[in-house]
Amino acid sequence: MTERIKYLKLLSKLFPTIEETATEIINLEAILSLPKGTEHFISDLHGEYSSFNHLLKNSSGVIKEKIEDIFSKSLSQKERNQLATIIYYPKEKIDFIKESGINMEIWYETTMKRLLKILEITSSKYTRSKVRKAISKDFSYIIQELLYERGGTPNKIDYIDGIFRTIISVDRGSEFIIALSELIQRLTVDSLHIIGDIYDRGPYPDKIMDTLMDYHNVDIQWGNHDILWLGAASGQLSCIANAIRISLRYGNTEILEEGYGINLLPLATLALEEYQEDCKENFSIRSLTPLENKNIPLLEKMHKAISIIQFKLEEELIKNNPEFNMNDRIFFDKINFETNTILLDGQTYPLKDSYLPTLTSHTLTKREKEVIENLKFSFITSEKLQKHSRFLLEKGSIYLKKNSNLLYHGCVPLDSKGEFRKIKILNKEYSGKNLFDYLDSLIRESYYNSKDGTLKDIYWYLWCGPDSPLFGKDKMRTFERYFLDDKALHKEKYDFYYEFYEDESILNNILLEFGLKIKGSNIVSGHVPVKVKKGEKPTKGNGKLLLIDGGFSKAYHSTTGIAGYTLIFNSYGKRLVSHFPFNFSVDSIEDCLDMPTSTAFVEIRNERLKVKDTDIGVELSNQIADLKDLLEFHRGNLIY
């Protein structure tokens, strides 16, 4: 018996009759003719949960556009704004409306009918089966009846109106509107792509992770900040120290203590005992929001204490991994404590801060060892952090090919000629796609391999190493920024990739290297904020590369001039949406305010893309071919 016949016999267990096989072929063929689902791309979230959550709810302005298309001639701008806010925040907005004193029965019925019109449009590109699975169980039957049985005959009209009246009479109007609104949000976007850097700077990456875990269809391309936290969760000490240092630098103790239950008390005790002098400006807390009820001097001391621990750990790690070629990141043996200076590359520089009481040794003191081991225990036993880390590994990858798009966070390392640079990892050389594939497997192995502690050092290298495609710079000058005033020493040199990313031919080579066609394909990445206020554009290489890090983090708003880019890819083409700073609050819901945006079209298609034109379409076409063979097998016409 051939392998093909064996496979068809197995397939026949799922479709045992001619009728069932033919029905499945008909269903799949019909799906291929539906419009392509909308994809939503977001990059460099950096803990900004409020802005991220709003973008998910308004689908980067797509929901507002649908409202404009349907109601621009029948509703006022105020009514359209209110309808949008109801879809984004139904429970909160209904509470405000109830307090306004209007007739809620009339309002409920009017709003339900308006929401159903929007739902008709958003659900039209999906099968009934897919829509049914997305509907809240509490209202599944009712929503299906209203969505698919809204005929124009008098009997149907009375039937539909009767459903509305009954929902209101049994006091389920609020719950029904919430269910409709959430369903519209759910169906507006078919898949979500996160192009890296969920963590650091902003206060609530844990809330972003919780939201992503509940999202219906998401993938993640790891950024170097995500890899840092994966390393910390795996117990890698230098990653733990870096993650804590960055959190303290921005005053974000919530993510550590409340989000992941990390015990900072041993670090606080060490900081108070060893760093009794007030910290200088270089260890000040750079919070972008008011730090209410926080002991700022203590946070600064903790910031300094963990920084010194980090530099000591990194020095040991670099010596243990000579293949990293990072000896220029070892500093303590270059310090002259008598003159408070440091010798770098033959030149002497004064230190901004020479109060370093724990630097009696370049290695960790007994107390510092106890602190970092306690912190390691907190990280590896944090149930929530481990759950988030496993999700990052399950849904994440170092790159992804999806519907003619190549997604990665940072860069593909190139040499000075624009060719793929060979990089040695664990004594073997890799470049291009092979480099990415090997690193992807290494990241997964390192997390689950508890026996080889040095294997986990790759997380730290990918966070800040000179050949890391996630970092994309020659060195991370953390020490220089803390201790040296000379701004020239703070500058980090970008990978050659960034010298060639305006060259369309180089970008085409990258697409070909990863197995994509040149025509119609794009690279989508983040990592490097686009400085719009200086005239920079997010499209590179004649539109081949779409750089969507526009400064989502508040820390970058003053640099970029905007609050981030997102990319929308639907059946009509691709468009970049730029977002402007928006301080979301309860007042935003009450006043029906939305994040200001502007749109630039990257690609407009004359014919709508259909499911058959997507990666899923290829899979379905292959399934149809197998089912057609099975059909012939059932009929006795297929013999191998």
CA distances from 393 to 219, 365, 390, 454 (A): 10, 34, 5, 20
Single pTM value for the model? 0.93
The 8-class DSSP code of residue 242 comes to: H
Q: Where residue 2 falls among pLDDT bands split at 50, 70, 90?
A: confident
- Of the candidates 140, 212, 147, the one whose C-alpha atom is nearest the C-alpha of residue 179 is 140
CA distances from 121 to 125, 147, 299, 553 (A): 8, 10, 52, 33
* Share of residues in the chain with pLDDT > 70 (%): 94
What integer pLDDT is reported at residue 202 of this predicted model? 86
- Classify strands 347-350 and 396-397 as parallel, antiparallel or unpaired: unpaired
What integer pLDDT is reported at residue 408 of this predicted model? 97
How many Å apart are CA 488 and CA 485, to the nearest integer? 9
* Torsion angles phi and psi, residue 606, rounded to 5: -70, -35
List, in order, residues 6 or more apart from 422 with CB less than 8 Å away.
429, 430, 431
At residue 73's C-alpha, the angle toward residues 67 and 77, to 5°, is 60
Model confidence pLDDT, tens digit, residues 426-476: 889 999 999 999 999 999 999 987 666 678 999 999 999 999 999 999 999
The 8-class DSSP code of residue 420 comes to: B
List, in order, residues 6 or more apart from 439 with CB less than 8 Å away.
398, 425, 430, 458, 462, 469
Three-state DSSP class for residue 587:
helix
Token pair listed for 194: 């996160």
- Of the candidates 249, 192, 239, the one whose C-alpha atom is nearest the C-alpha of residue 53 is 192
Say whether pLDDT at 561 is over 60.
no
β strands within 54-201, DSSP E = 191-194
**CB of 183 closer than 8 Å to CB of 116:** no
How many Å apart are CA 117 and CA 596, to the nearest integer? 25
Identify the bridge partners of residue 336 per DSSP, sorted by sequence position.
341
What integer pLDDT is reported at residue 640 of this predicted model? 52
**CB of 424 closer than 8 Å to CB of 417:** no
CA distances from 515 to 22, 58, 405, 417, 433 (A): 34, 34, 11, 22, 9
More confidently predicted of 209 and 161: 209
Say whether pLDDT at 155 is over 90.
no
Say whether pLDDT at 536 is over 90.
no
Model confidence pLDDT, tens digit, residues 356-405: 899 888 899 999 999 999 999 999 999 999 999 999 999 999 999 999 99
Please list the alpha-helical segments (H only) found in 149-236: 154-169, 173-188, 205-214, 224-234
Token pair listed for 582: 């928006």
Model confidence pLDDT, tens digit, residues 75-93: 999 999 999 999 999 999 9
Q: Quick one: how far is CA 571 from the chain centroid?
A: 23
**For the chain, how are helix, strand and coil distributed in percent, rounded to 5?**
55, 10, 35
- Classify strands 396-397 and 400-402 as parallel, antiparallel or unpaired: unpaired
pLDDT (mean) for 188-206: 94
Model confidence pLDDT, tens digit, residues 264-295: 999 999 999 999 887 778 888 887 677 777 88
List, in order, residues 6 or more apart from 99 with CB less than 8 Å away.
none
How many Å apart are CA 113 and CA 117, to the nearest integer? 6
The residues spanned by each domain of the chain are 3-34+614-635, 59-188, 218-385+422-479
What integer pLDDT is reported at residue 551 of this predicted model? 66
List, in order, residues 6 or more apart from 92 with CB less than 8 Å away.
586, 589
Of 137-146, 170-179, 499-508, the range with the lowest mean pLDDT is 137-146
* Share of residues in the chain with pLDDT > 90 (%): 69
List, in order, residues 6 or more apart from 619 with CB less than 8 Å away.
none
What integer pLDDT is reported at residue 117 of this predicted model? 94
What's the half-sphere exposure (Cβ side, CA atoms, 13 Å) at 57?
20
pLDDT (mean) for 538-546: 92
Is 92 buried (19+), middle (13-18) or exposed (0-12) by CB count in 10 A? middle
How many Å apart are CA 621 and CA 28, to the nearest integer? 8
